[in-house]
Amino acid sequence: MTTRTKHPPAGSWQRREAALRDYDVLGNAPQKELQALVEIAAQVCRAPRAAINLISATHQHQVATLGFDASICTREDSMCAAVLEHTARVVVPDARLDERFRHNPFVTGRLGDVRFYASAPLVTPDGVAIGRLCVFDSHPRQLDAEQEQALGTVAERVVDVLELRLRTRRLESSLEALTRTQQELHRSNEALSVFTGQVSHDLRTPLTAIMASTELLGQEDSVKDDKWAQRLVTTAHRAATRMAGMIDQMLAYALVGAQLQRSPTDLGDVLASVLEDLAPTLGSAGATVSAGRLPTVSVDRQQLYSVLLNLVSNAVKYARPDAAPVVDVSAERRGGSWRIQVRDNGIGIAEQDRETVFGLFHRAPDAKSSVEGSGIGLATVRRIIEAHGGLIGISGVEGQGTNVWFELPGEDHDGDPNRYTSNDTDHDNPPKSNHASGHDIDEA
């Protein structure tokens, strides 16, 4: 079989060197796998000697051999280097009669006595020829069509071994980097918790003094008799109270996900606790809250309480001025997750703001002037859901209400994905709960 000599394309050596570096195979080859392929090549071609030769810019490296010891020679002495750019198999019955090899030291006797030579290219998925799989003999001979094809197939498997090793190494590197990132994130969360706790403690002391002082000052006759002074004292007391609430919220935000206390939790019971604690707010707003049956999932009950508390209270706060709030809470199965949805008939959130409202201290532009808030609530909600391995988002038609949904991975507690555990929630007669009330309510 004859082939035409091809000139190396521009930059081919640079690409070849880069591929060899990526494979990290020179001096560090996967011996067991490559040795098995060399033996298969020799067996199917009935040749006494075989080798996997990788060609660098200056040398030929034999990374696996059969019938002789592996070695390294200069590229100029390599028989495989002479046909490296050929993309087809090369079969030479007698190398002494082939112009490409007749003066080669492996043929002339200086380095060897090769007569029969056959090889197949080792080409990467990117089309870079990095070497050849060759079989040879000291006696002239020939290969039949099936042997030639088998030699090419084995050569492809050699590249597969190198690719698998490369991808495995990259995956291991990615896993190591991910592990380091997780460890660093854990350290950062711990540092954030410690920092926030310290700041909260340091700020609470003077704030408590300010709140106590303004409260006492407001009871003085001289202040009661002076409307301007009374207004200033009242404003100062309210501002200090709001700041104390923000400190508590920031501490809660920093602690989210630090230590999840997961247990099978009936979300219907959690919602009942939320509605019980929000009863005064719901009553004063004339709100109607309906709920379908909710699943039992493995979550941190306290943190899911905070999620539903924020979402339901937001749905009531951001009502349209011309309509009483109507809120619906429902659940549906989606693949391996439960999707919980809190829909309302409020003012809605513009599509371009539906991602930013989950940022810390971000609020929907339309809501800034109508409802007071710090912009911590939805940031905390997202942090809780993501700490549980879930997703959260917003949908709905602008001006026609909002649908805030979150997904929690995992099946029902008893393994039945279609089982619900809680009955429909009746806002007028919410189930009683031992859950403590008095939690802060925040908004987007």
| Least confident stretch, 51-55, 147-151, 180-184 | 180-184
Are 144 and 195 in the same domain? Answer: no
Q: DSSP labels for 229-277?
A: HHHHHHHHHHHHHHHHHHHHHHHHHHHTTTS--EEEEEHHHHHHHHHHH
Q: Kindly indicate the confidence band of residue 346, based on its pLDDT and cuts at 50, 70 and 90.
A: confident
Are 324 and 393 in the same domain? Answer: yes
| Least confident stretch, 57-71, 136-150, 183-197, 356-370 | 356-370
- For residues 303 and 377, give the distance between their C-alpha atoms in angstroms, rounded to a whole number: 12
Helix (H, G, I), strand (E, B) or coil at 69: coil
Q: Kindly indicate the confidence band of residue 262, based on its pLDDT and cuts at 50, 70 and 90.
A: confident
Q: Kindly indicate the confidence band of residue 55, based on its pLDDT and cuts at 50, 70 and 90.
A: very high
The answer, yes or no, to whether residue 181 has pLDDT greater than 90, is: no
Are 312 and 413 in the same domain? Answer: yes
Residue 249 lies in a domain: no
The answer, yes or no, to whether residue 110 has pLDDT greater than 70, is: yes
Q: Could you give the maximum distance between any two Cα atoms of the chain, in Å?
A: 120
Are 224 and 327 in the same domain? Answer: no
**CATH number, domain containing residue 336:** 3.30.565.10
The answer, yes or no, to whether residue 1 has pLDDT greater than 60, is: no
Are 132 and 190 in the same domain? Answer: no
**Where is the domain boundary, 171, 196, 214?**
171
Are 162 and 32 in the same domain? Answer: yes
* Bigger pLDDT: 336 vs 93: 93
Please state, in angstroms and as integers, the Cα–Cα distance from residue 105 to each residue in 4, 109, 117, 345, 396, following that order: 22, 6, 14, 87, 78
Are 83 and 134 in the same domain? Answer: yes
Cβ within 8 Å of residue 81, ≥6 positions away = 55, 60, 75
DSSP β-bridge partners for residue 405: 341, 393
Are 347 and 284 in the same domain? Answer: yes
Are 314 and 416 in the same domain? Answer: yes
Q: How far is CA 268 from the centre of its chain?
A: 31
Q: Work out the percent of the chain whose per-residue pLDDT is above 90.
A: 45
391, containing H or E segment: strand 391-395
pLDDT digits (tens, 9 = 90+) for 188-245: 766 666 666 666 667 777 788 888 888 888 888 888 888 888 888 888 888 787 777 7
Give the predicted TM-score (pTM) of the model: 0.49
The answer, yes or no, to whether residue 137 has pLDDT greater than 90, is: yes
Residue 273 lies in a domain: yes
**Where is the domain boundary, 243, 275, 290?**
243
Are 376 and 277 in the same domain? Answer: yes
Are 228 and 359 in the same domain? Answer: no
The number of domains in the chain is 3
Residue with tokens 């087809």: 88
- For residues 373 and 235, give the distance between their C-alpha atoms in angstroms, rounded to a whole number: 17
**CATH number, domain containing residue 122:** 3.30.450.40
Contact 62, 27 (CB under 8 A): no
- For residues 314 and 285, give the distance between their C-alpha atoms in angstroms, rounded to a whole number: 12
The answer, yes or no, to whether residue 258 has pLDDT greater than 90, is: no
- What backbone phi and psi angles, to 5 degrees, belong to 22? -65, -45
The candidate with the shortest Cα–Cα distance to 367, out of 299, 431, 439, 318, is 318
Are 163 and 192 in the same domain? Answer: no
Q: DSSP labels for 193-222?
A: HHHHHHHHHHHHHHHHHHHHHHHHHHTSHH
Q: Which two tokens stand for residue 324?
A: 């009483």
Average pLDDT over residues 382-411: 85
**Where is the domain boundary, 171, 190, 211?**
171
Residue 374 lies in a domain: yes
Range of the domain at 48: 12-171
- For residues 328 and 146, give the distance between their C-alpha atoms in angstroms, rounded to a whole number: 71
Average pLDDT over residues 108-120: 96
Residue 4 lies in a domain: no
